[in-house]
Chain A
Amino acid sequence: MISTPLEQFTISSIIPLHIGKYYFSFTNSSLYLFLAIGTAGLLFHFVTQNGGFLVPSRWQSLVEMIYEFVRSLIQEQIGAKGRKYFPIVFTLFVFLLFTNLIGMIPYSFTATSHLAVTFGLSLSLFIAITIIGFQIHGLHFFSFLLPKGAPLILAPLLVVLELVSYCFRAISLGVRLFANMMAGHTLVKILSGFAWTMLSVGGALSVASVLPFAVVFALTGLEIGVACLQAYVFTILICIYLNDAINLH
């Protein structure tokens, strides 16, 4: 029986728990979120045990490279003022990277292919960045809505546009990650469905199924790249938004 390409995104309760009409079940999404966090945590724990080696091992080198990458990202985007936000940015990057990569394993679940996860993350970070902006600049933070050098006559229109653009950041950030993950996995599923159907039919079509199979093979590589890239894009956009909040213009 052929399953639909969207069946892979179904959330199923592993430990059902509901209080009234509210559900607090432990689902497959929760399981894979915990798995991603646990994998990342274990990797960092074993690599940094007893302070790590002075001459790093391969895994320690990998972890150090991720650390240096995020640190250089913050340094370039925000500068010295951004150092205190390094823990949250690093955690975000590692969380998204591991969640996306674990989702690439067949028969697993991609937690970031759900808008609830990505939008929840982007909205909460957006609210936090806005609060940081108001904490640092007070009401002067509203000057961000009027770009530097803009003529005052256009101010009423520009402020509204900039406000909509600013608020839309939270939506675009979450939707970008969700759409990339969902579309990629759906495409892989559709093409593998083609290959399976052609193999099942037999004859010349089963030999011709090598073509969609090769495309799926290439798409697997592309999707692994997209998984890493989307984690990077999400993180760098958060750094850019933080820079806007801290340094305004």
Chain B
Amino acid sequence: MKSLSKPYILLYIVLAFCVASSKHILIYNEETLVLICFFGFIFAIKHYFGDTLTASIQERGDTIHDELNQSYITQIHQDLSIRDQYKQIIPVSQVLSVFSASLVEQSESTQKLAEYSLKHQIDSQISKMYTHLYKLQQSFPQKLQKKIHDNVLPNIQQSLALNKKPIDFIKNSKNKLKAKDFA
């Protein structure tokens, strides 16, 4: 017995439906026909275009999946390259840290040396000044006495000879005592 093909099956169903409707075996209203049309249309769309629609929606999901994968791979590669660069940088940073430590030590010692030399220089200057002032102090009375003998006494003697006030002669004298005379 040959198996019936789909178009023939459909034809027999339609004919059976027509006969059953005309003989009032099947009782329905026009909305049932609309229902049959509706589900028939949905079935036809699913049968002929279902795979296409599913494939297009699936393709969208696959595209997003591939983009995500690519972004993860790119991110992993970037992280690995950063890690390799970090590994290269570590010895340099160690050398730099040692160098900076030695620089710090040198700068500290230089600073101490500079402070010491400055202090020593200031001390020597101050001591020189003190010595000079001491010598001045020591020599001052003798010099004053000598100057008074050289400059003031002649004026006093002259004033006494002329019967005038000694202070007037001292004021108008050309040989006045100055500070540079005691330098």
A71-79, A127-135, A196-204: which lies at the interface = A196-204
Q: Tell which of B34, B41, B54 touches A221, judged by Cβ atoms closer than 8 Å.
A: B41
A188 interfacial contact with B, CB 8 Å: yes
B77 interfacial contact with A, CB 8 Å: no
Q: How many Å from the CB of A218 to the closest CB on chain B? A: 9
Q: How many Å from the CB of A138 to the closest CB on chain B? A: 45
Interchain CB contact under 8 A, B21 and A192: no
A193's nearest neighbour on chain B, judged by CB, is B30
Interchain CB contact under 8 A, A196 and B61: no
Q: Tell which of B22, B33, B61 touches A195, judged by Cβ atoms closer than 8 Å.
A: B33
Q: Which of B158-182 contact A (CB under 8 A)?
A: none
B65 interfacial contact with A, CB 8 Å: yes
Residues of chain B within 8 A (CB-CB) of A216 are 33-34, 37
Q: Tell which of A105, A193, A203, A217 touches B40, judged by Cβ atoms closer than 8 Å.
A: A217
Interface size on B, residues (CB 8 A): 30
A54 interfacial contact with B, CB 8 Å: yes
Interchain CB contact under 8 A, A196 and B30: yes
Q: How far is the CA of A107 from the CA of B33 in the complex (A)?
A: 11
Interchain CB contact under 8 A, A195 and B30: yes
A104 interfacial contact with B, CB 8 Å: yes
B4 interfacial contact with A, CB 8 Å: no
Interchain CB contact under 8 A, B35 and A106: yes
B86 interfacial contact with A, CB 8 Å: no
B18 interfacial contact with A, CB 8 Å: yes
Q: How far is the CA of A65 from the CA of B23 in the complex (A)?
A: 50
Given A56-B61, A56-B64, is A220 in contact with B34 using a C-beta cutoff of 8 Å?
yes
Interchain CB contact under 8 A, B18 and A56: no
Interchain CB contact under 8 A, B64 and A58: no
- Number of A-B contacts defined by CB within 8 Å: 86
A213 interfacial contact with B, CB 8 Å: yes
Q: Tell which of B18, B37, B45, B68 touches A209, judged by Cβ atoms closer than 8 Å.
A: B18
Q: Tell which of A54, A56, A219, A221 touches B60, judged by Cβ atoms closer than 8 Å.
A: A56
Q: How far is the CA of A206 from the CA of B19 in the complex (A)?
A: 8
Q: How far is the CA of A96 from the CA of B37 in the complex (A)?
A: 23
Residues of chain B within 8 A (CB-CB) of A56 are 60-61, 64
Given A55-B64, A196-B33, is A202 in contact with B22 using a C-beta cutoff of 8 Å?
yes
Interchain CB contact under 8 A, B68 and A55: yes
A3's nearest neighbour on chain B, judged by CB, is B29
B99 interfacial contact with A, CB 8 Å: no
Q: How far is the CA of A216 from the CA of B37 in the complex (A)?
A: 7
Given A61-B60, A196-B33, is A220 in contact with B18 using a C-beta cutoff of 8 Å?
no
B90 interfacial contact with A, CB 8 Å: no
Interchain CB contact under 8 A, A106 and B38: yes
Q: Which of B1-42 contact A (CB under 8 A)?
A: 14-15, 17-19, 21-24, 28-35, 37-38, 40-41
Q: Tell which of A8, A206, A220 touches B37, judged by Cβ atoms closer than 8 Å.
A: A220
Q: How many Å from the CB of A64 to the closest CB on chain B? A: 8
Top 8 closest pairs, chain A to chain B, by CB: A202-B22, A106-B35, A199-B21, A196-B30, A206-B18, A192-B30, A55-B65, A106-B34
> 30 A-B Cβ contacts within 8 A?
A3-B30, A56-B61, A57-B61, A58-B57, A58-B58, A105-B38, A106-B35, A107-B35, A189-B31, A189-B34, A192-B30, A192-B37, A196-B30, A199-B18, A199-B21, A199-B33, A200-B21, A201-B22, A202-B18, A206-B22, A207-B15, A207-B18, A213-B33, A216-B33, A216-B34, A216-B37, A217-B40, A220-B34, A221-B41, A224-B41
